[in-house]
Structure 1
Amino acid sequence: MSTIKEEIHALSEEMLTNLGKLVAIDSQLAPAKEGMPFGEGPAKALEMGLQIAQELGFKTVNLDNYCGYAEMGEGEEIVGIAGHLDIVPVGGDWTYDPFVLTRKGDYVYGRGTTDDKGPVIEALYAMKLLRDSGVKLNKRVRLIMGCNEETGSKCMKHYNEVAEELSCGFTPDANFPCIHGEKGHMSMMAYSKNTKIISMNGGFVSNAVCDNCTTVIPAEARLKEKLEAAFSQTKLQEYKVTEENGTLTIYAKGVPAHASTPALGINAAGVTCQCLEEAGFEDDFVKFYNSHIGTDCDGSGVGLKFADEYGDLTFCNGIVKTQDGVISCTIDIRVPVTLKADQVREMCQGRLEDENGRIEIGTIGNPLFFPRESPLVNALYKAYVDVTGDTENKPMVIGGGTYAKSLKNIIAFGPEKLGIDYHIHGADEFILVSGMEEAVLVYMEAIKNLLAI
């Protein structure tokens, strides 16, 4: 294995160069153009991804700019690897240019380095090294590159319509050691009915904690001093209260976090509402927000507090917006795998509206669950353990949603290591070069194990 490690290490600079080509492309969802269903950026990223694969000697196919794939091997069965090339908005305060790959020692910064352009490169080089080693490929191995994972996975819906079903596989878009379940996803929208707040705006995506918020309210006697006293007791990174022309403007900077782990962040809008109430600002929407949404991240305000053996329900306010005098809030909920959609509706029935505001239920997506003992889970987990020697961490259930919910017979598998915050969906997202090299080796072993199923 040491020889293979040396081979991988020798390819590090080449992998980073190719990753830099992908990171340089702003592949956020954009208005559709002819032949570009998700806009120009995702189509360019796909073109570049397929070009890199072609240069490495793989057969490539573009499926109408929804997605594409690189393939090797022969046979009817397909071992699939599904990664995505689209990204979330940049957002936050970056130290480095998000579209220029920047290396500082073992750290390499840029939007998409870990989610998910870096893992696509890792999987591609795992395929290359496996092919070059002469391993017998009794099945085809297909790396699918999608363009719409962050905003609906319509790319995989198209794949299912026009391409062959996978026999087994994984998506490199989560954590090691192995993900055998993904919570269901539920969306809600909260709306004000009556409010004295002039404007309240914050957050940049619905699937991340609202990490900044600017609120304008009418000035009241001594309110500025009371607010400053309340904010001084919070864990915000920054806050500022200014008074001008009879209004107070409140800026609050919280801590970003993915919607699947909102307790790791600090919700700037939630803290603002909390402080407004503590300072004595009487407002219907503030009351509604604090009683129904709050800062606890557990859904208790609407009757959704729940946990099973695989994890807790999580509740995240991502965006706050004021339009035509109405404040709206996006709510992203990750539902434990043992709960069904009708149970969730029943739990919050009668808890979504009062005289101060209302909440509407949007989509409720089903969870994904593979038994821990299934051949797919065992094959991937064994690959991780054989390379890393880590037997302490076990296959787990996560709150995030991946392509595993869109494609049959795959689960999420790496490359993030537990205990490391890669700043996914936040500023200064990074990948570790050492982690990248290890992931290539894990994915090589994983493909070999899947070929043997």
Structure 2
Amino acid sequence: MEFTKDEFLKRASSYREEWTKLTTKLVSFNSVLDEYKEGAQAPFGEGNKEVLNWILAHAKEDGFDTYNCDNYAGHIAFGHGDETLGLLAHLDVVPAVGKWTSNPFDATLTDNGNRLVGRGVNDDKGPLAATYLALKILRDMGVKPNKRILLIMGCDEETGSRCLEHYFKKNPMPDFGFSPDACFPCINGEKVGVHYDITGEDNSHVISFTSGQRYNIVPDEAKMTLDIDLKKEYLAFLNEHNYKGEVEENTYIAHGLSAHAMCPQKGINAAFILFEFLNEYAPSSLSNFVVNYLDNDPFGHKLQIDVFHEEMKELTQNLGIVRIENKQAHLGVDCRVPVEGHEPLMQKNLDKALENTGLKAVVSLGGKLHYVPRNSELVKTLMSAYQDITGDMENESYTIGGGTYAKFIDNAVAFGPQFVGREDVDHQTDEYVYVDDYIKTMAIYADAIYRLVK
């Protein structure tokens, strides 16, 4: 049984309305991590529990076998065989920070029905919906897989993937797979995830300083209060440097541009604006460190922790969290590192930079290096499906700084859904996708899954 490109595209087009409705429904659940409670009925909050249970019930109504792993994760099953193909997607989302033009949890169609806006439409609820509907397309076409297919859905991808750690303690690891949580044509490598936290006493004029909610997002807003009046100086500073911000009563506010931590150079970190101002008008050891070692340096050159690998590219770092309260400071930095074993050098150089400041750094490993060769059967098969549907023979597989569920399976990669040339909107305000793109995505996924299990 063989199918043509046109057959896959025609089937996918017939699911346009269903994909839009399914994605809109998934977006309606506020599945931002509430508070992790190990062993609880809702370990990642009620929103994640509710969306997981809803999609499992929906799939069961559609005739698929389903499984809920203690509300940590679940799967939808299709087909039988000795080998298992794992399709790894997530239901949790990052906070909907910033000023949205519409309710982020009420997905809105614009541009004559071709643009869908909402938190999670691209990361990762829209892709999950496309993957699920690809299974329905194959079933409609009469495909009987000779391998077991599991669409595995977790609820904690954005904050540590404790969901799949729990799931795989109770369930066998798939033999191979892909995660629809990145870009086309294929992501065959992911950097090591490393965090470093800086803490200590801040004897400055800062009463409070708040910026960011997650390590893996460039913060687009920062706020602070001071025990001295520098309002006129701050407004002049903003004007001089063409920065965005304002003063509301005694609160100094800076506005930046959010971006994913794997490419912090695409964002504008609002915290740096406030630290630059502080270092000019009310300097401290903390502001001096931030300005001289972190500000305007997404690749770690100033700390001399920069490193480059031909396949995995450069190290990146993002100051994702700043908290100062009661003279106690905490900085949280997310790094994506292209080599293993880099943590000792990072710790050494941070210790040196923080000498005599009263501040301390702790470097911690957040994830492993992941790489699948370009010439592997998995990558070649996925690339063939992508090329046949899109006609794109120029772009090749590549590596990224982002971390996906693909790291759980040795022979797995990230595959779509974002097309070459599209704006990276993950983790940003007014996250959006084009519905037309997802017609092609469903066709690619259906074709790729068919090739892998026929």
| TM-score (norm. length: structure 2) | 0.92
Separation in 2 of the partners of 1:187 and 1:9?
43
Preserved CA contact (<8 Å) 1:258 1:424: yes
For residues 71-150 of structure 1, what are the structure 2 equivalents within 5 Å? Answer: 71-105=77-111, 106-150=114-158
For residues 239-258 of structure 1, what are the structure 2 equivalents within 5 Å? Answer: 239-241=245-247, 249-258=251-260
Q: 1:69 to 1:79 in 2, by over 3 A?
A: same
Preserved CA contact (<8 Å) 1:341 1:366: no
Q: 1:115 to 1:364 in 2, by over 3 A?
A: closer
The answer on 1:14 being equivalent to 2:18 is yes
Q: 1:295 to 1:49 in 2, by over 3 A?
A: same
Preserved CA contact (<8 Å) 2:176 2:409: no
Separation in 2 of the partners of 1:353 and 1:49?
52
State the shift of 1:357 in Å.
3.3
The answer on 1:230 being equivalent to 2:234 is no
Preserved CA contact (<8 Å) 1:49 1:145: no
Aligned residues: 444
Separation in 2 of the partners of 1:391 and 1:337?
30
Preserved CA contact (<8 Å) 1:305 1:313: yes
Could you tell me which amino acid in structure 2 is paired with residue 13 of structure 1? E
Preserved CA contact (<8 Å) 1:114 1:422: no
Separation in 1 of the partners of 2:242 and 2:88?
38
Preserved CA contact (<8 Å) 1:210 1:318: yes
Give the structure 2 partner of residue 165 of structure 1: 173
Separation in 2 of the partners of 1:132 and 1:41?
32
Deviation per residue, 1:149-184 (Å, 9 max, x gap)? 111111111221111221111000111110111011
Separation in 2 of the partners of 1:249 and 1:21?
38
State the shift of 1:348 in Å.
4.7
Moved over 6 A (4+): none
Deviation per residue, 1:32-76 (Å, 9 max, x gap)? 484222221111111111122223221111122111111111111
Q: 1:306 to 1:34 in 2, by over 3 A?
A: closer
Deviation per residue, 1:318-350 (Å, 9 max, x gap)? 121122211211111110146644454456553
The answer on 1:70 being equivalent to 2:70 is no
Deviation per residue, 1:363-384 (Å, 9 max, x gap)? 3432111122112211112211
State the shift of 1:447 in Å.
0.8
- The secondary structure found in structure 2 opposite 1:20 is helix
Worse-matched range after superposition: 300-309 or 317-326: 300-309
Preserved CA contact (<8 Å) 1:340 1:366: no
Q: 1:161 to 1:282 in 2, by over 3 A?
A: closer
Separation in 1 of the partners of 2:266 and 2:442?
29
Q: 1:234 to 1:156 in 2, by over 3 A?
A: same
Separation in 2 of the partners of 1:343 and 1:276?
29
The answer on 1:419 being equivalent to 2:421 is yes
For residues 24-423 of structure 1, what are the structure 2 equivalents within 5 Å? Answer: 24-31=28-35, 32=37, 34-105=40-111, 106-193=114-201, 194-219=203-228, 223-234=230-241, 236=243, 238-241=244-247, 249-278=251-280, 280-309=281-310, 310-337=312-339, 340-342=342-344, 344-345=346-347, 348=350, 350-355=352-357, 357-423=359-425
Preserved CA contact (<8 Å) 2:65 2:78: yes
- The secondary structure found in structure 1 opposite 2:75 is strand
Q: 1:431 to 1:266 in 2, by over 3 A?
A: same
Separation in 2 of the partners of 1:363 and 1:80?
26
Preserved CA contact (<8 Å) 2:181 2:416: yes
The answer on 1:446 being equivalent to 2:448 is yes
Could you tell me which amino acid in structure 2 is paired with residue 302 of structure 1? L
Preserved CA contact (<8 Å) 1:260 1:399: yes
Separation in 2 of the partners of 1:276 and 1:259?
24
- The secondary structure found in structure 2 opposite 1:144 is strand
| TM-score (norm. length: structure 1) | 0.92
